[in-house]
């Protein structure tokens, strides 16, 4: 993304906020079902264009908004109709850019119900942080919803958002500017590999699905999709300052009574942490995934939350 495209996205975001735009992003299956209802074939308002990713007549938008979309390079032509290449979603008082529906590209930037659960649980845990971190990072940030929430809550902190996806980092930078923040920085890094120094706060909502196409925003690697989550804990504890917090929201494939992910990280947590907690936020998410290869023995996918405080 070049500077003029980023500036156009920023101005467009401000224009949508001034117009009262709000949109809560749903699961892909719900999105597909709602868009399939009669009358929803085309967008009729701003939410249809920038939330539901529906095609629209060029005359539906004010000329200035359409010009900004073209300048930002996010207009896709479909015959006589147009479609936005990005969505904007509401998170508290924030508007955040992310990929349009459906998210099928390798460099798609994810945002959805997991994001709301992740950031909401993180914000409820801020009470543990006292005056807050001086240096924080969101690993695998995508559009950086958590990093931006941290930077907004703790303006004295240096906050980083890291990802291997350049498109995600471009959108994260625009999202932070749209929020009016100057204490956020987007960094290209494969987990911690490109980072220097240590942190008071590490947060992450990594990919955890077994994806046949191994799309980076979705595929969690081996260990039934838990490999990246385990690495974030293992490598993160080495980067965490004494008294610092690691907060992880992830999904765990569970077969029978045992939680394989928890048992894999328990020795690390007991060795390095003075206190830690682990809970299931939702016992059954992405049920449709259980019919996919690699899940033959899996009974459910649970959304879990880990908060570890280093000794």
Tell me the Cα Rg of the chain.
20
What confidence score (pLDDT) does residue 212 get? 82
Residue 14's φ and ψ, nearest 5 degrees, are: -65, -40
pLDDT average, residue stretch 251-274: 95
Note the pLDDT tens digit of each residue in 28-42.
999 999 999 999 999
What confidence score (pLDDT) does residue 107 get? 92
259 contacts: CB under 8 Å, gap ≥ 6: 252, 302, 304
Q: In the sheet that 273-282 helps form, which strands lie side by side, from edge to edge?
A: 184-188, 158-163, 135-139, 199-204, 240-254, 300-310, 273-282
What confidence score (pLDDT) does residue 143 get? 98
Sorting pLDDT into bands at 50, 70 and 90, what band is 220? confident
**Size of the chain in residues:** 311
Dihedral sign (CA 291, 292, 296, 301): negative
Among 38-42, 208-212, 213-217, the minimum mean pLDDT is found in 213-217
d(CA 103, CA 114): 15
- For residue 61, the 8-state DSSP code is S
pLDDT above 70 as % of the chain: 100
What confidence score (pLDDT) does residue 218 get? 80
Is the pLDDT reported for residue 219 higher than 90? no
What confidence score (pLDDT) does residue 215 get? 82
Is the pLDDT reported for residue 154 higher than 90? yes
Is the pLDDT reported for residue 177 higher than 90? yes
Q: Using CB atoms within 10 Å of the CB of residue 180, give its burial: 0 to 12 exposed, 13 to 18 middle, 19+ buried.
A: exposed
Peptide bond into 253 cis (omega under 30): no
What confidence score (pLDDT) does residue 233 get? 98
Q: Using CB atoms within 10 Å of the CB of residue 39, give its burial: 0 to 12 exposed, 13 to 18 middle, 19+ buried.
A: exposed
Q: Which CATH superfamily is domain 113-310 in?
A: Vaccinia Virus protein VP39 (3.40.50.150)
Is the pLDDT reported for residue 214 higher than 90? no
Kindly list the domain boundaries of the chain, sorted by start residue. 3-99, 113-310
pLDDT average, residue stretch 90-111: 94
What confidence score (pLDDT) does residue 267 get? 97
* Tokens 């682990």 sit on residue: 278
What confidence score (pLDDT) does residue 302 get? 96
Sorting pLDDT into bands at 50, 70 and 90, what band is 184? very high
Using CA atoms, how far residue 247 sits from 3, 28, 197, in Å, is 33, 26, 18
Sorting pLDDT into bands at 50, 70 and 90, what band is 213? confident
What confidence score (pLDDT) does residue 235 get? 97
Mean pLDDT of the chain: 95
3-state helix, strand, coil in the chain (%, to 5): 35, 25, 35
Note the pLDDT tens digit of each residue in 3-30.
999 999 999 999 999 999 999 999 999 9
Note the pLDDT tens digit of each residue in 120-133.
999 999 998 999 99
Sorting pLDDT into bands at 50, 70 and 90, what band is 243? very high
Is the pLDDT reported for residue 225 higher than 90? no
Using CA atoms, how far residue 156 sits from 132, 133, 136, 182, in Å, is 9, 8, 11, 10
Note the pLDDT tens digit of each residue in 48-84.
999 999 999 999 999 999 999 999 999 999 999 999 9
Cβ atoms of 121 and 249 closer than 8 Å: yes
Sorting pLDDT into bands at 50, 70 and 90, what band is 185? very high
What confidence score (pLDDT) does residue 47 get? 98
- For residue 164, the 8-state DSSP code is S
């Amino acid at each position: 993304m070049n500077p003029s495209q980023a500036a156009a996205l920023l101005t467009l975001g401000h224009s949508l906020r001034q117009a009262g735009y709000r949109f809560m992003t749903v699961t892909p299956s719900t999105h597909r079902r709602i868009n399939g209802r009669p009358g929803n074939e085309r967008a009729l308002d701003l939410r249809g264009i920038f939330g539901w990713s529906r095609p629209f007549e060029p005359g539906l938008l004010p000329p200035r908004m359409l010009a900004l979309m073209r300048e930002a390079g996010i207009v896709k032509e479909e015959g006589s109709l147009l479609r936005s290449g990005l969505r904007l979603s509401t998170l508290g008082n924030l508007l955040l850019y992310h990929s349009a529906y459906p998210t099928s590209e390798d460099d798609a930037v994810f945002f959805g119900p997991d994001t709301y659960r992740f950031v909401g649980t993180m914000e409820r845990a801020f009470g543990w942080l006292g005056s807050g971190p001086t240096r924080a990072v969101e690993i695998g940030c995508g559009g950086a919803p958590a990093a931006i929430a941290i930077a907004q809550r703790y303006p004295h902190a240096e906050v980083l958002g890291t990802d291997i996806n350049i498109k995600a980092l471009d959108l994260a930078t625009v999202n932070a500017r749209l929020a009016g923040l100057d204490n956020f920085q987007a960094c290209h890094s494969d987990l911690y590999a490109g980072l220097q120094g240590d942190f008071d706060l590490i947060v992450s909502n990594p990919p955890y699905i077994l994806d046949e196409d191994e799309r980076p925003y979705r595929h969690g690697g081996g260990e039934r999709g838990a490999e990246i989550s385990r690495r974030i804990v293992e490598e993160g504890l080495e980067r965490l300052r004494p008294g610092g917090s690691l907060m992880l929201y992830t999904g765990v494939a569970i077969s029978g009574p045992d939680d394989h992910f928890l048992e894999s990280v328990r020795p690390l947590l007991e060795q390095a942490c003075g206190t830690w907690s682990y809970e299931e936020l939702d016992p059954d998410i992405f049920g449709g995934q259980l019919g996919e290869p690699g899940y033959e023995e899996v009974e459910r996918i649970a959304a879990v939350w880990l908060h570890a405080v280093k000794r």
